[in-house]
């Protein structure tokens, strides 16, 4: 059993906490003691029995047939044996469908090389194809590359003048967006052009306008309708290093071409220039049991925002017992990997980085285990369309039950880093590093319980940690750090490092879904620290008088250390909502004394202390502390330095993507943004 679960101890200490327990019991949530006793049980059961795939069923020892694929192999006489491998993944997958239909556990072994193809569709509607083990295994993520891009030869480029070159373009991807998507045009496009490993900036060559019609789910969302208004002269709109497409057939002489203006003309001869032409690389239709995908990279797929489940890998139907490990899903136009309707899933030691939308989008799913993965530097395409939230994250979970997220890295996403949204239950997060994202860790509209231990959540544009309309949350032995000076709302309310919020959604379709009952928010032995620019450290908002559930909301803190560098003596600034004796809510903003008073009146603990942890360099993600730090001997805290190469990658990616949010903290200059 994981040490963190075994060390969990009951937290009812003293009369104040006892009063809170009694009140919780009276309203039907259960006592705090019961919660403390039950939490290790459900977490332990997830860890040892139910979370993730049963890898005994997915072992190589079950394989009875191996089909070989090797890039560059001859077509003539290929039969999938090691001596005469198939030259394409498509041919290998077709052969695998035959052995699976016979009930033979099969491995599709794909050799090193770059595969520029779409593997087609594995139809699993046959019962044996669906239930029989299939292992799709490459030679390693750095060796077996499955790409949606094709190489453009130097002689294919046609000089159209003023440093601009063109090739024929017949793909007509168009604008593809869900109806609630952004109006920014580049946020909907699918075209990508790479110069060696550098993604060129895209510019609109065609002129477009957009209008909204009708109303969709909630708020101001409405259907997007686009209109094209001809083509602009690409020689006038392209700057060095940019490209664009003209799809319309009635815009002679510019139509049906992709235009590129290289930084240097010799790049056409000396660089490897690739253009993405395929949106889906591997597709399984009909659902499947017992599937392994291992040791491959899926990259440069021209996946589309509309119908975004069809990404580089598309798993359609109901799935059970799935293992994805040692893979990379990088530089795809939309989401790296979209997973729906999967039970017993393990994703391990894989990267979902540099995708145009989120890294992973998943749900509904049950019994999932994520270990040692990265979802970083995502949503550059969405950002170019002014779309940094709503439907994506480094990982965006929804309707996910029984999930463990362990040893995960989410850095530099132009969207939330980790987002559990809409009816997520029984969630364990351990050893997470989430930094330089729009939000760090976000729990929203779910009954939980949520359990977070030994994690670092730092440097968010908005709140580093935010819980909104949730059941029980336990957050312990972690570092919460932020330095954002951002405010929001008409009253310019500062965004805190930690926001604990419960309120009704009176104007949301979510209120018609499963009722989310408020639970106990327990924060134990955390460092909650604000940098010099942060205006508010903690905000606790349990609702308003019209919300009958708000009275059941509870916050209890134990042994937390609080510090805000920009305040006198580091005393934190707090924002919270206070219930008065007449039953109404009064907003209060204040310093440490006001917060202590509020905690005492609402049965929260008041043993938090103001202490500077003396981090070495939080901007560079070095959360080790000086020798004279008051927490230097606290072995339960994640006092460590993140690999400095992450810091360098963040600076380069933020500058390239033109996200100015962290420019001052990281010291980079934003690239010009093409609209």
- Judge if 392 and 430 occupy the same domain: yes
- Residue 481 domain flag: yes
Residues 410-458 have pLDDT tens digits of 999 999 999 999 899 999 999 999 999 999 999 998 998 999 999 999 9
- Judge if 510 and 641 occupy the same domain: yes
Phi and psi (nearest 5°) for 92?
-65, -40
Residues 564-574 have pLDDT tens digits of 987 777 777 77
- Residue 67 domain flag: yes
- Residue 106 domain flag: yes
Between 335 and 4, the higher pLDDT residue = 335
In the 8-state DSSP scheme, what is residue 641?
Answer: B
- Judge if 142 and 181 occupy the same domain: no
- Judge if 340 and 432 occupy the same domain: no
pLDDT of 584:
41
* Domain count across the chain: 3
Cis preceding-peptide flag for 364 (omega within 30 of 0): yes
- Residue 272 domain flag: yes
What is the pLDDT averaged over residues 75-99?
95
Structural domain ending residue among the three candidates 327, 350, 373:
350
Mean residue pLDDT across the chain:
84
Q: Does 221 score more than 70 pLDDT?
A: no
For the ranges 15-19, 63-67, 362-366, 602-606, which has the lowest average pLDDT? 15-19
Q: Please report the sign of the dihedral spanned by the C-alpha atoms of residue 48, residue 54, residue 56, residue 60.
A: negative
Q: Do 536 and 562 form a contact (C-beta atoms < 8 A)?
A: no
Q: Do 104 and 95 form a contact (C-beta atoms < 8 A)?
A: no
Q: Does 642 score more than 70 pLDDT?
A: yes
Rounded to a whole number of angstroms, the distance between the first and last alpha carbons of the chain is 52
Q: Whole-model pTM?
A: 0.89
For the ranges 180-189, 537-546, 630-639, which has the lowest average pLDDT? 537-546
In the 8-state DSSP scheme, what is residue 48?
Answer: I
- Judge if 464 and 332 occupy the same domain: no
Give me the residues paired with residue 498 across strands.
465, 538
Percentage of the residues of the chain whose pLDDT score is greater than 70: 80
Give, for 260, the enclosing helix (H) or strand (E).
strand 257-261
- Judge if 31 and 168 occupy the same domain: no
Question: Rounded to whole angstroms, how far apart are CA atoms 339 and 316?
Answer: 9
pLDDT of 552:
61
* Residue 16 confidence class, pLDDT cut points 50, 70, 90: very low
How many other C-beta atoms lie within 10 A of the C-beta of residue 514? 13
User: Which residue, 426, 417, 477, is CA-closest to 451?
Assistant: 426
Question: Rounded to whole angstroms, how far apart are CA atoms 254 and 245?
Answer: 9
pLDDT of 230:
83
Q: For Cα atoms 295, 316, 65, give the angle at the middle one, nearest 5 degrees.
A: 45
* Residue 579 confidence class, pLDDT cut points 50, 70, 90: very low
Q: Does 580 score more than 80 pLDDT?
A: no
- Judge if 549 and 514 occupy the same domain: yes
What is the pLDDT averaged over residues 333-344?
93
For the ranges 52-56, 547-551, 603-607, which has the lowest average pLDDT? 547-551
Between 74 and 309, the higher pLDDT residue = 74
- Residue 619 domain flag: yes
- Judge if 321 and 258 occupy the same domain: no
* Residue 477 confidence class, pLDDT cut points 50, 70, 90: very high
pLDDT of 557:
86
Percentage of the residues of the chain whose pLDDT score is greater than 90: 59
Residues 511-565 have pLDDT tens digits of 556 778 778 889 999 999 999 999 888 888 776 545 555 556 778 888 899 999 8
Structural domain ending residue among the three candidates 226, 247, 276:
276
Residue 35's region, left for phi above 0, alpha for psi from -120 to 50, else beta, is alpha
Question: Rounded to whole angstroms, how far apart are CA atoms 340 and 369?
Answer: 15
* Residue 146 confidence class, pLDDT cut points 50, 70, 90: very high
- Judge if 640 and 650 occupy the same domain: yes
SS (H, E, C) 84-106: CCECCHHHHHHHHHHHHHCCCCE
- Residue 112 domain flag: yes
- Judge if 589 and 511 occupy the same domain: yes
Q: Count of H helices and E strands in the chain?
A: 11, 52
Range of the domain at 35: 1-50+388-675
- Residue 374 domain flag: no
Q: Do 411 and 436 form a contact (C-beta atoms < 8 A)?
A: yes
* Residue 10 confidence class, pLDDT cut points 50, 70, 90: very low
pLDDT of 20:
36
- Judge if 18 and 80 occupy the same domain: no
CB under 8 A, 24+ apart: contacts of 635-639:
636/7, 636/454, 636/477, 636/525, 637/454, 637/477, 637/478, 637/479, 637/525, 637/527, 638/431, 638/454, 638/455, 638/456, 638/477, 638/478, 638/479, 639/479
Structural domain ending residue among the three candidates 276, 292, 321:
276
- Judge if 482 and 435 occupy the same domain: yes
Q: Does 247 score more than 70 pLDDT?
A: yes
- Residue 367 domain flag: no
What is the pLDDT averaged over residues 77-94?
96
């Amino acid at each position: 059993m994981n040490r963190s679960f075994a060390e969990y101890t009951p937290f009812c200490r003293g009369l104040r906490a006892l009063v809170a327990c009694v009140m919780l019991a009276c309203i039907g949530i259960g006592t705090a003691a019961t919660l403390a006793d039950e939490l290790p049980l459900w977490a332990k059961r997830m860890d040892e029995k139910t979370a993730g795939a049963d890898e005994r069923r997915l072992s190589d020892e079950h394989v009875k047939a191996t089909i070989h694929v090797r890039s560059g192999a001859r077509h003539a006489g290929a039969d999938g044996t090691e001596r005469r491998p198939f030259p394409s993944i498509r041919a290998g997958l077709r052969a695998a469908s035959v052995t699976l239909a016979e009930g033979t556990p099969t491995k599709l072994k794909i050799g090193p090389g770059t595969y520029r193809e779409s593997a087609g569709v594995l139809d699993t509607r046959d019962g044996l194809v669906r239930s029989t083990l299939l292992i799709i295994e490459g030679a390693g993520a750095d060796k077996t590359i499955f790409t949606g891009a094709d190489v453009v030869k130097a002689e294919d480029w046609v000089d159209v003048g003023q440093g601009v070159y063109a090739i024929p373009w017949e793909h007509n991807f168009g604008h593809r967006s869900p109806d609630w998507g952004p109006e920014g045009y580049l946020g909907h496009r699918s075209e990508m052009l790479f110069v060696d490993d550098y993604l060129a900036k895209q510019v609109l060559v065609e002129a477009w306008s957009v209008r909204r019609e009708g109303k969709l789910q909630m708020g101001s969302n409405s259907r997007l309708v686009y209109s094209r208004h001809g083509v602009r002269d690409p020689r006038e709109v392209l700057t060095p290093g940019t490209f664009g497409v003209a799809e319309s057939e009635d815009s002679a002489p510019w139509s049906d071409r992709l235009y590129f203006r290289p930084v240097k003309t010799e790049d056409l001869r000396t660089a490897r220039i690739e253009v993405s032409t395929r949106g889906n690389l591997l597709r399984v239709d009909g659902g499947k049991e017992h599937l392994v995908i291992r040791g491959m990279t899926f990259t440069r797929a021209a996946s589309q925002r509309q119908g975004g489940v069809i990404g580089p890998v598309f798993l359609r139907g109901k799935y059970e017992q799935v293992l994805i490990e040692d893979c990379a899903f990088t530089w795809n136009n939309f989401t790296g990997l979209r997973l729906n309707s999967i039970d017993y899933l393990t994703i391990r030691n894989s990267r979902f980085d540099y995708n145009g939308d989120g890294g992973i989008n998943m749900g509904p799913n049950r019994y999932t285990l994520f270990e040692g993965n990265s979802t970083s530097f995502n949503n550059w395409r969405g950002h170019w369309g002014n779309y940094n939230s709503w439907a994506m994250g480094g990982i965006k979970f929804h309707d996910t039950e029984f999930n463990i997220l362990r040893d995960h890295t989410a850095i530099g996403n132009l969207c939330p880093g980790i987002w559990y949204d809409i009816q997520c239950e029984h969630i364990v997060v351990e050893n997470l590093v989430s930094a330089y994202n729009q939000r760090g860790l976000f729990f929203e509209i779910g009954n939980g319980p949520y359990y977070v231990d030994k994690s670092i959540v730092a440097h968010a544009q908005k709140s580093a940690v935010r819980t909104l309309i949730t059941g029980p949350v336990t957050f312990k032995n972690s570092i919460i750090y932020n330095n954002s000076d951002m405010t929001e709302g008409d009253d310019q309310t500062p965004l805190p490092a930690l926001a604990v919020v419960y309120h009704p959604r009176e104007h949301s379709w979510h209120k018609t879904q499963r009722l989310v009952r408020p639970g106990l928010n327990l924060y134990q032995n955390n460092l909650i620290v604000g940098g010099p620019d942060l205006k508010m450290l903690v905000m606790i908002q349990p609702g308003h008088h019209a919300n009958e559930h708000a009275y059941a909301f509870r916050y209890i803190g134990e042994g937390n250390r609080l510090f805000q560098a920009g305040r006198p003596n580091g005393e934190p600034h707090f924002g919270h909502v206070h219930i008065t004796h007449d039953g109404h809510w009064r907003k209060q903003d204040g310093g440490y004394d006001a917060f202590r008073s509020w905690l005492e009146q609402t049965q929260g603990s008041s043993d938090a202390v103001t202490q500077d942890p003396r981090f070495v360099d939080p901007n560079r993600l070095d959360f080790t502390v000086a020798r004279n730090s008051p927490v230097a001997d606290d072995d339960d805290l994640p006092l460590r330095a993140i690999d400095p190469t992450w810091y360098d990658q963040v600076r380069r990616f933020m500058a390239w993507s033109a996200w100015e949010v962290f420019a001052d903290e990281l010291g980079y200059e934003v690239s010009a943004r093409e609209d």
